[in-house]
Structure 1
């Protein structure tokens, strides 16, 4: 008799499992809870973003990628940190580097010039890739911040 995992029922995106060992080729993805906290400021069409990635665990992540998306187009010829790259008219992606479980990553600073000089800009931050881990808590890895052209810092 062959023992394997049996699905008893499915509710939403979860499944109730019964049985012994997992079937061959079936593996559960590790779980990590990524978060980004920092500030954004804007003055004369220049936007400065500083943030620290964090992993609340329970699994360490070897690397992750997050997206910074502005509501206004970016100017041509941006000078970005080595772990960041422009990926569209309004978008930059950045690698976080390794994030230990229940640990902080290195602070990441990104300064961009906007095309023109808008009086305000909205910045959206979200995870594009979590290093192969599943993040079930998107309340802290998706941020949306409005920054006014005042030079003031807006915390997220």
Structure 2
């Protein structure tokens, strides 16, 4: 049996301990009772970002976007579709750079949409520009050395 992983709840942001081999068993949050993996990106802001990026053991793929950005709106359903394929191996999150400009500045986001992959609280990879879901999945898995 593998050691438990710390998984941040996408709803209440509580940390949950889940055995690695049970990630695919639809675990629920111990605090709010909601699913830890719903196949949807979690909305992140300055209050929840560090919890998901640094305290959760899952890699975090973040879409930095803004509501006024046409390519961001085009990519949004593709990013959501990628979540259904990449969970529970990684968490997907979205940061609205208009609502949380401090995060865009903190991570030197110069163009949107920009995908940033965090592992262990550190940036592991970055890619700018809109992509279809298959390319998002392929890119994210390749960055972590998990081609399939």
TM-score (norm 2): 0.25
More strand by share: 1
Question: Which protein, 1 or 2, shows the higher relative CO under an 8 Å CA cutoff with sep ≥ 6?
Answer: 1
More helix by share: 2
Radius of gyration: which is bigger? 1
